[in-house]
Amino acid sequence: MRINILHEGAHFLEYEIRKIVEYAYRIRELGQNITWENIGDPVTMQEEVAPWIKNIVQELVQKNLSWGYCPTKGVLATREFLAGEVNKRGGVQVTSDDIIFFNGVADAIDKVYELLHRNARVLLPTPVYSTHSSNESKRGAYLPLQFRLDPKNGWLPDMDEIRRMIKYNPQIAGIGLVNPDNPTGLAYPREILEEFVEIARKNRLFLIVDEIYIHMCFQKGKTQHLSEFCGDVPGIALRGISKEYPWPGARCAWMEVLNRHKDSNFSEYIDSILNAKMLEVCATTLPQMSIPAVFGAPNYQEHLKNRAEIFRKRAEEAYEIFSKVPGVICTPPAGAFYFSVVFEEGVLKSHQQLPIKNQEIKKYVDHLCKNTTNDKRFAYQLLGAEGICVVPLSGFSTDLEGFRVTLLNTDDKKRRETFSRIAQAIQTFIQS
pLDDT tens digits along 287-299: 999 999 999 999 9
319-342 pLDDT, tens per residue?
999 999 999 999 999 999 999 999
- Could you count the other beta carbons within 10 Å of the beta carbon of residue 417? 13
User: What pLDDT, on the 0 to 100 scale, is given for residue 10?
Assistant: 57
Average pLDDT over residues 291-318: 95
What was the pLDDT predicted at 47?
93
* Per-residue pLDDT at 9: 59
Give tens-digit pLDDT for 145-201.
999 999 999 999 999 999 999 999 999 999 999 999 999 999 999 999 999 999 999
Question: Rounded to an integer, what distance in angstroms lies between the CA atom of residue 386 and that of residue 219?
Answer: 33
- Which of 188, 245, 234 is CA-nearest to residue 211? 188
Report the pLDDT averaged over residues 248-267.
95
Q: What's the confidence (pLDDT) of residue 143?
A: 86
State yes or no: pLDDT of 8 exceeds 70. Answer: no
> Which residues does 360 contact at the CB level (< 8 Å), separation at least 6?
30, 31
Confidence (pLDDT) at 13: 56
Closest CA to 210 of 166, 249, 254: 254
Q: Which of 419, 426, 407 is nearest to 343 (CA)?
A: 426
CB neighbour list of residue 22: distance below 8 Å, 6 or more residues apart: none
Classify residue 379 by burial, with Cβ atoms within 10 Å: 0-12, 13-18, 19+: buried
pLDDT tier at 312, thresholds 50, 70, 90: very high
Range list of β-strands (E), 85-132: 99-102, 121-126
193-232 exposure pattern, b = at least 16 Cβ within 10 A, e = fewer: bebbbebbeeeebbbbbbbbbbbbbbbeeebbbbbbbbbe
Which ranges of 30-65 would DSSP assign to H, the alpha helix? Answer: 51-61
Interacting residues of 38 by C-beta distance below 8 A, sequence separation 6+? 17, 18, 20, 21, 24, 389, 390, 391, 406
Give residue 286's region: left, alpha or beta (phi > 0; psi -120 to 50).
alpha
List residues bridging with 328 in a β-sheet: 343
Mean pLDDT across the stretch 338-347? 95
